[in-house]
Amino acid sequence: MALPEILIDLHKIKQNVQAVLSLAKPYGTEVVGVTKSFLGEPEIAGAMLAGGINMLADARLANVKKLRQAFPQITLMLLRLPALSQAAETIACADISLNSEFRILQALSREAIKQGKQHRVILMVDLGDLREGILPDDLFALVEKTLKLDGLILEGIGTNFACYGGVIPTTENLSELAGLAEKVEQACGYRFAVISGGNSANLPLLFNGELALRINQLRIGEGIVLGRETVTRRVLPGAVPDAFVLRAEVLECQVKPTQPKGLIGQDAFGQTHQFCDEGLRRRGILAVGRQDVPPEGLILRDSRLKIFGASSDHLILDLTEAPELGVGSVVEFDLRYSGLLGAMTSPYVKKRVKLA
């Protein structure tokens, strides 16, 4: 047994896919499965496909390549804007990319012609979250120019909320996207096949019955991997939050004070802490630290335990209320998105798929 490990339950991922698909079904909205939180690992992506997903998307070309090798027939989307220096690889591996820069669209066009391919593009519009996308007023001109590029198929437009600014997708701002699409469609005499509404922050609109018409695609990562929408992080109906569980071992368990002794300066990460004196507690030191997972991303599965803090290689827990736990015990955590991303990316965390 090599700990820490992240235990991955493919059945639960499949269950979450089905929960998301049944939310989207009444709207006829296509769900694209986002694989970036698990580095595009084909075994896990395969569970998304088994659950009924038909298109996969990842932010990194390296992951898209991995997916391409494993699933030659599946439609793949590159989520992060393609880099000018990676136009050739983008055309080679991805069927669809999200774009906002004309120079890059020109480069993709040249490459698509060179490779004898038709590459599908979605133009991203920034409706206020201030990450990627052109401003609404500039969309018409970009559409006109893009339509003239050979080798590219303008599939439609898209947006992204709740990433940088934390702007919540609502009926209002998504109707703005749909309205903008219709205005530009009329002006250009071209119909967009896809209006890609966003990420897991859109899921509450589905269960509130509020998704704007014409939004016919959502790109869903967290809703599938952690079974939650991302506005208030509620678990979706029919989904489970524990498809990924982190497990770590207790190295030391001793009764100690809660108030450090001596002059308090900065910790290993330049932070100064306030300590609350809770008297003597049974403190467990686990063999998992910030180099494995950010402690903010961990959720204790046992509600009797509490996290005191973490350093590079250690996590310190209050085990007082769980007297059966001691040296050698294994403690389990559910993960928030930051925890999942950190643990999946850390080379120190073993990834183990749970056998049925």
Question: What positions carry a catalytic annotation?
Answer: 36
The crossing angle, in degrees rounded to 10, of helices 42-51 and 61-70 is 70
Among 40, 156, 204, 223, binds ligand PLP (CB under 6 A): 223
Among 4, 197, 221, 241, binds ligand PLP (CB under 6 A): 221
In this chain, which stretch among 135-143, 216-224, 248-256, 313-321 interacts with ligand PLP, using CB under 6 A? 216-224
Counting contacts by CB under 6 A, is residue 160 touching ligand PLP? Answer: yes
* 46/221 with CB nearer ligand PLP: 221
83 SS3 class: coil
* 36/247 with CB nearer ligand PLP: 36
Q: Find the shortest distance in angstroms from Cβ 302 to ligand PLP.
A: 27
162 closest CA partner among 208, 134, 200: 200
Q: Find the shortest distance in angstroms from Cβ 129 to ligand PLP.
A: 11
Four-residue CA torsion sign, 121, 122, 125, 126 = negative
* 337/348 with CB nearer ligand PLP: 337
Burial of 344 (0-12, 13-18, 19+ CB in 10 A): buried
- Give the residue nearest to ligand PLP (CB): 221
Residue 231 to residue 305: CA distance in whole angstroms: 27
Restricted to residues 195-214, the positions that interact with ligand PLP (CB under 6 A) are: 199-200
Q: How many residues bind ligand PLP (CB under 6 A)?
A: 14
DSSP summary character for residue 227: -
Site string for ligand PLP, 291-330 (x = CB under 6 A): ----------------------------------------
Counting contacts by CB under 6 A, is residue 236 touching ligand PLP? Answer: no
Contact between residue 38 and residue 67 where contact means Cβ atoms under 8 Å apart: no
* 58/318 with CB nearer ligand PLP: 58
Q: Which residue has the tokens 């183990």?
A: 352
Q: Find the shortest distance in angstroms from Cβ 334 to ligand PLP.
A: 16
Widest distance between CA atoms in the chain: 74
Residue 330 to residue 246: CA distance in whole angstroms: 10
Q: Find the shortest distance in angstroms from Cβ 223 to ligand PLP.
A: 6
166 SS3 class: coil
> How would you classify the pairing of strands 298-300 and 96-99?
unpaired
Counting contacts by CB under 6 A, is residue 56 touching ligand PLP? Answer: no
Contact between residue 169 and residue 196 where contact means Cβ atoms under 8 Å apart: no
* 34/76 with CB nearer ligand PLP: 34
Residue 330 to residue 249: CA distance in whole angstroms: 4
Among 219, 247, 290, 336, binds ligand PLP (CB under 6 A): 219
Among 9, 126, 129, 222, binds ligand PLP (CB under 6 A): 222
Restricted to residues 161-200, the positions that interact with ligand PLP (CB under 6 A) are: 199-200
Q: Which residue has the tokens 């909205």?
A: 29
Residue 33 to residue 54: CA distance in whole angstroms: 8
221 closest CA partner among 195, 202, 246, 245: 202
Restricted to residues 98-117, the positions that interact with ligand PLP (CB under 6 A) are: 98
Query: Where on the chain is the footprint of ligand PLP (CB under 6 A)?
Result: 34, 36, 59, 79, 98, 160, 199-200, 219-223, 230
